[in-house]
Amino acid sequence: MELARSYTVVLPSLEPERQDPDVETGRVIYLMIKIYSNGAVTPYIGTLNAGDTLSVGGSVGTFQLSQLSGVSHLVLLAAGTGFTPMIRLIYHTVVCAPEDSTLLVHLVFYNKKMCDILWREQLDVLAKQYDRFRVTYVLSAEDETVWDGLTGHICATHVQQYVPHQDNGVLKENQNSQTKQKCSVGKVNPLVCACGPPVFTAAAIELLKAHGLTSSHIHAFSG
C-alpha cells in the first residue's frame, strides 16, 4: 500500500547566514514535519534515519510572488505546522527585501502551548530587528499562570484587530490595536495568507470575507 501526504518545502532558518546554497540549486530540500502518534504516515517518517530513502512527488501550489505586488499589509495567519509556508514568505518579504521596502508584515501564530511555537526565538529576533515585521502569538491551551499573551482560537475580534481593510481606499485604524506598525492614512492593499488544519483555514476565510475582504486579498494554503 502506498500512502502520500503533502509537505511544504521550507528554508533551514530565517537567518541569512544559516541558509544552504544547495537549496538554490535544488539538490537539497528542507521539510518541517510534525509527528502525529496516531497518524498513518508521520510515525513512519519519524523512524527514518540519515541515508534512508523516501519517494517525493512533484511540487504543487498556486501562490505567485506577483501576488505581493502593490500590497501594503501582508498578514500571515498560521496555526501549528501551517507556519511552514510562511517561512519563505517572511524570508522573502522581510529579510531579503530592499531596504526601502514599506511592506508591513504581521504573523499571527496560533498554537496550543508555548512549547508548540515553532522558531519562536528566530521570530522574536526578527521582530526586534525589523520595524516592518511583527509577530503575535495566540495560545489555546496554555496555563494562565505562565502565559499572559493572547488566548483562544481565531475569531472576528482577532481579524478586526490585525487585518486592515479597505474603506474607499482609506485605512480604518484597527481598534484596540497596540501595533508598532503605524501606517499613514492612504491606500491600503492587504493580502492575508492563511494556513493550518482545514478547520482553521476555513474559519479564517469566512472571517476575512465577513470582514469585507474579497478573494483577491486572501490566499489559503491548502491541499
| Closer CB to ligand FAD, 42 or 174, in the complex | 42
Q: Which residues contribute to the site for ligand FAD (CB under 6 A)?
A: 5-8, 32-34, 36, 38-42, 80-81, 84, 197, 221-223
Q: How many CB atoms lie within 10 A of CB 150?
A: 15
What would the grid cell of residue 194 be?
492563511
How far apart CA 33 and CA 80 sit, in angstroms, is 11
Strand partners for 10: 30
| Closer CB to ligand FAD, 12 or 197, in the complex | 197
Smallest distance, ligand FAD to C-beta of residue 38, A: 5
| Closer CB to ligand FAD, 185 or 199, in the complex | 199
Rg (alpha carbons) of the chain, rounded to whole number: 18
Smallest distance, ligand FAD to C-beta of residue 162, A: 22
The answer to whether the annotation marks 159 as part of a ligand binding site is: no
Residue closest to ligand FAD when measured from CB atoms = 39
Q: Considering Cα of 15, then 20, then 26, then 29, what sign does the dihedral take?
A: negative
| Closer CB to ligand FAD, 63 or 130, in the complex | 63
The answer to whether the annotation marks 128 as part of a ligand binding site is: no
How far apart CA 201 and CA 76 sit, in angstroms, is 11
The answer to whether the annotation marks 41 as part of a ligand binding site is: yes
DSSP state of 51: T
Binding positions for FAD: 34, 41, 84
